Amino acid sequence: MSMGINFIYGIMKVINWSMGEFFMIGAFVQYILLTSFLGATYWYVGVVISALIVFFLGALVQRLLIKPMFVGIIEAKMEYATIVTIAMAIFLRNLAVLIGGPYIYTPPDYAGPTQILTLPISGNRLVALIGALFLLALFYYFIKKSWTGKAFQGVAQNRSGVQTAGVNVLKYDMLAFGIGTALAGAGGALLAPIFLVHPMCGLVPTVRGFEIIVIAGLGSIPGILVAGLTLGIAESLGSAFINPSFVDIYGFILLVIILSIKPYGLFGKAEREV
Amino acid sequence: MDDQGNQLLEVKNVVKMFGGLRANDNVSIQIEKGEIRGLIGPNGSGKTTLINLITGIYDVTEGSIYYYGKRIDGVKANVIASMGIMRTFQVARVFRDMTVLENMLIPAFTQGQSGSEAKTRAEELLDFALLTRLKDKQAKSLSGGQNMLLQIVRGFMHKDLKLYVMDEPFAGVHQSIKGIIIESIKMMNQEKGVTFLVVSHEMSTVRTLCNKITVLCKGERIAEGTMEEVANVPEVIDAYLGG
């Protein structure tokens, strides 16, 4: 989720507030696939299909609703686009209520409870952890090693410079939006048995995603890993030693402390635009 | 691409408005293949606006621009680049977090050049520009002049470069780097037949480098010819020295 938000912001300078809803769509698609077509055994196939479907949906949303603001010279286009994503979030959430009703759907487990050395752990959580690490590694490799990844870096670092070098930035915007939302969709599919599937299931991961980005600093992929772990540890320690009822508060306290010491986040840098 | 005799670029009665400001006012310029054209004028005369129009950064308000006889005003900047028109900016627009070599490879990527072919060409150009020792350094660690040089040689990565539009390539760069830039322009012009449109305030450099000069003032074209010819035009003297 954090990686998707970060990526879209890096390329388009637009904060996509509807990421939670693309997460929710990924979870719903996964639920339908597992309960109606694939069965629990092929959950990983479901994750791939969910991500692909969300990719195309995200790219379509960008093409129809956001791209028009990036054609020609429009002032405050990023702000307009951000507002569109807020409207999209409300629309998709209500659409989910309309189609699926206000019910909570429970997908089958991906794996049974297991143990790492002496530590018992939920199989679903282990799958989600390994899946997230795999996606992170795949994404990192794609961005750092492929030609397309280099072009994405170029778009993120100097939009007009890369455009006059021959890169179609509008095409890359659409791809970035698709890839970013697909990451959220894959997250929704991976976490479906943990967060369960309902119209609001993307809310908590979105809040966590933004917390992690702010702690990490915009634009840093390794930072997301460190910030995610730091947030998790802060919440676990707070729950264990203070009070588990206020688990969501601990993350925000950590965020405030980090921002007061490092205003750009742990790995963020002050932006410089030419 | 259609061959229109010796003419490469034609800017025809171009007007660019920014609200009530007329940044370019009925400007017409023809550039022939193989020329090194200078574009000069006092600050605010519309030079950068004109090259932004030629390279697709801005849309024209009125008028038209033809390249090899094909109308290109309204065409997107990346498409114009793919047609063989590259440009540089006054402040070098390099990819700061990429290495010098990676910066060089970006234009090659857009043309589908193979990795090894592009890398060989990039290394040759970096060698020419004396940037080889910096090829694995991030662009942000380079000086302003080195970044300008990198920006310029990056444009030479275009396999089918026809017109290179340079916006103040000599501004604020060290004398030795200026020498390399001039040499690279001459080499690409003589050996590869690349046409150049160079915006510069450095009259001595423009005089030695450019065959023909166009002078803009307050958005209008006020003179055109060799440096000696334009230097004697009363409007040019007036524009530079005040009336």
From residue A216, alpha-carbon distances to A73, A191, A255, B130, B168 in Å are 32, 22, 10, 38, 39
Check if A163 contacts B (Cβ < 8 Å).
Answer: yes
- Average the pLDDT over each of B22-26, B166-170, B228-232 and give the range with the smallest value: B228-232
Q: Is the pLDDT of residue B52 over 60?
A: yes
First and final CA of chain B: distance in angstroms?
46
Residues in B touching A168 (Cβ below 8 Å): 76, 78-79
- DSSP per-residue letters across B142-178: S-HHHHHHHHHHHHTT-TT--EEEEESTTTT--HHHH
Q: Is B23 helix (H, G, I), strand (E, B) or coil?
A: strand
Please state, in angstroms and rounded to a whole number, the distance separating the CA atoms of residues A185 and A201.
12
The answer to whether residue B2 scores a pLDDT higher than 60 is: no
pLDDT (tens digit, 9 = 90+) per residue, A32-90?
999 999 988 999 999 999 999 999 999 999 999 999 888 766 677 888 889 999 999 99
Residue B51 in tokens: 């090259």
Chain B interface disruption, residue of A144, A163, A164, A274, most B CBs within 10 A: A164
In this complex, is the C-beta atom of A241 within 8 Å of any C-beta atom belonging to chain B? no
Q: Annotate A203-224 with DSSP letters as a single string.
A: HHHHHHHHHHHHHH-TT-HHHH
- Residue in B91, B106, B158 nearest the CB of A151: B106
Q: Quickly tell me which residue has 């791809």 as its tokens.
A: A175
SS3 content of chain A, % helix, strand, coil (to 5): 75, 5, 20
- Residue A274 — pLDDT band, cuts 50, 70, 90? very low
A245, exposed or middle or buried, with CB in 10 Å at 0-12, 13-18, 19+?
A: exposed
CA–CA dist B29, A52 (Å, integer)? 50
Distance of alpha carbon B217 from alpha carbon B12, whole angstroms: 17
Give the per-residue pLDDT at A127: 93
Reported as a pLDDT band with limits 50, 70 and 90, residue A213 is confident
Q: Which residues of A touch B102 (CB under 8 A)?
A: 150, 153
Nearest to A165 among B79, B91, B110 (CB): B110
Give the position of tokens 């688990």. A247
Question: Measured between alpha carbons, how far is A103 from A100 in angstroms, rounded to an integer?
Answer: 7
Chain B residues within 8 A of A267 when measuring between CB atoms? none
The pLDDT mean for chain B works out to 91
CA distance A254 to A233: 10
Q: What is the DSSP annotation of B198-235?
A: EE-S-HHHHHHH-SEEEEEETTEEEEEE-HHHHHT-HH
CB spacing of A160 vs B59 below 8 angstroms: no
What does the alpha-carbon distance between residue A202 and residue A196 come to, in Å, rounded to a whole number? Answer: 10
Please give the C-alpha separations between residue A119 and each of A114, A115, A116, A122, A126, in angstroms, as whole numbers: 9, 5, 5, 10, 12
Scored b (16 or more CB within 10 A) or e, A15-46 reads: bbbbbbbbbbbbbbbbbbbbbeebeeeebeeb
Q: Which pLDDT belongs to residue A168?
A: 92
The answer to whether B95 contacts A157, with C-beta atoms less than 8 Å apart, is yes
Q: Is B28's Cβ below 8 Å from some Cβ in A? A: no
Identify which of A72, A151, A161 has the shortest CB distance to residue B93.
A161
Helix (H/G/I), strand (E/B), else coil: A93: helix
> Out of A73, A154, A272, whose CB is closest to B106?
A154
Name the CA dihedral angle for A93, A99, A105, A109, rounded to a multiple of 10 degrees.
-90
CB contact under 8 A, B96 and A153: no
For A116-126, write each residue's pLDDT tens digit. Answer: 888 888 999 99
Evaluate whether B93 touches A161 at the Cβ level (below 8 Å). Answer: yes
pLDDT at residue B166 in the model: 95
**Distance, in angstroms, between A76 CA and closest chain B CA?**
17
Strands of chain A (E only): list them. Answer: 114-116, 119-121
Chain B touched by A146 (CB under 8 Å): no
pLDDT at B158: 92
> Residues of B with CB below 8 A from A272's CB?
96
| ipTM, two decimals | 0.83
Determine the Cα angle at A31 with ends A26 and A33, to 5°.
95
Q: Two tokens at B122?
A: 């990039």
